[in-house]
Amino acid sequence: MLADPATLGNRPDAAREALFEPHYWAARGELLAADAGRGAVWFIASGRQSWVLRHYRRGGFMARISRDRYFWSGESRVRAFAEYRLLARLARRGLPVPKPIAARYRREGFHYSCDLIMLRIADAVPLSSVLCEAALSDGAWRAIGATIARLHHSGVDHADLNAHNILLDRNAAVSIIDFDRARVRRRGAWASRNLRRLHRSLVKVSRQSPVDRFPESAWDSLLAGYDTYRADGALPL
């Protein structure tokens, strides 16, 4: 198990393991909500904090073979551990990502399953949900572009940058989530692929919405924010 000692303190291993079980939180009346996506996600309360508990699940064709089992190739390749370490690294640099709390895996022979607990970003909702309700300002689109540029300047290749993984809070502050399979790389064509993936996602989620939710000018503003930050430059990790 990987864990933030400042948050979990000196809890014994059994107590730490219980934190990854939704029924533990339900019994305490602290299971706030659940969400279903590529992974199984629960929102939970822990004292004064809200956490996100994520159980890793497969998507696409592989989900037909196994919903949540991955081939064991060593502890260093455990997906929850990789995401925990990357999030910790990015959070230390002040990037707008969730702070990791703990990660674990359970191995059974040649396969394993895994879970990750993160600090929930307060009062933040996915960009996809925001666009269902209202149009964004030019400044908000620029802020989204600048935030993506911050990640790219740090060499972060986000494997699934889409409208569901970009969060906005009440003040339109931008955060990015879901760093499963993300990695730090040298600059390359992957940055453009990230942006193209996001554009396809925005087109898809706004297809049934009023035209003001994602006009061409919105993407232009996002790219302007991205390019402005890129021109200013940033230090690599």
DSSP for 67-98, written as a single string: SS-EE---GGG-HHHHHHHHHHHHHHTT-SSP
pLDDT of residue 60: 60
CA dist., res. 161 & res. 148, Å (int): 9
- Two tokens, residue 184: 């730090």
Q: How far separated are the first and last CA of the chain, in Å rounded?
A: 25
CATH for the stretch 125-232: 1.10.510.10
169-172 LR contacts (CB < 8 Å, sep 24+): 169/121, 169/122, 169/123, 169/124, 169/125, 170/123, 172/136, 172/137, 172/139, 172/140, 172/143
Residue 33 backbone phi and psi in degrees, to 5? -170, 170
pLDDT of residue 13: 76
pLDDT of residue 166: 98
Q: Are 144 and 138 in contact (CB under 8 A)?
A: no
Q: Which of the residues are catalytic?
A: 160
Domain(s) of CATH 1.10.510.10: residues in the chain? 125-232
231 half-sphere exposure, CB direction, 13 A CA radius: 6
Domain(s) of CATH 3.30.200: residues in the chain? 2-119
pLDDT of residue 234: 46
Q: What is this structure's pTM?
A: 0.90
Q: For each of the chain's 237 residues, which pLDDT tens digit applies?
A: 999 888 887 777 778 899 999 999 999 999 987 775 555 899 999 878 899 999 998 866 555 567 889 999 999 999 999 999 999 999 999 999 999 999 999 999 999 999 999 999 999 999 999 999 999 999 999 999 999 999 999 999 999 999 999 999 999 999 999 999 999 999 899 999 999 999 999 999 999 899 999 999 999 999 999 999 876 654 343
pLDDT of residue 25: 93
Output the CA torsion 198→199→201→206 (10° steps): 140
pLDDT of residue 237: 38
pLDDT of residue 236: 40
Partnered with residue 156 across adjacent β-strands are 184
pLDDT of residue 233: 53
CA dist., res. 101 & res. 31, Å (int): 17
User: Domain 2-119 is in which class?
Assistant: alpha beta
pLDDT of residue 16: 86
pLDDT of residue 39: 57
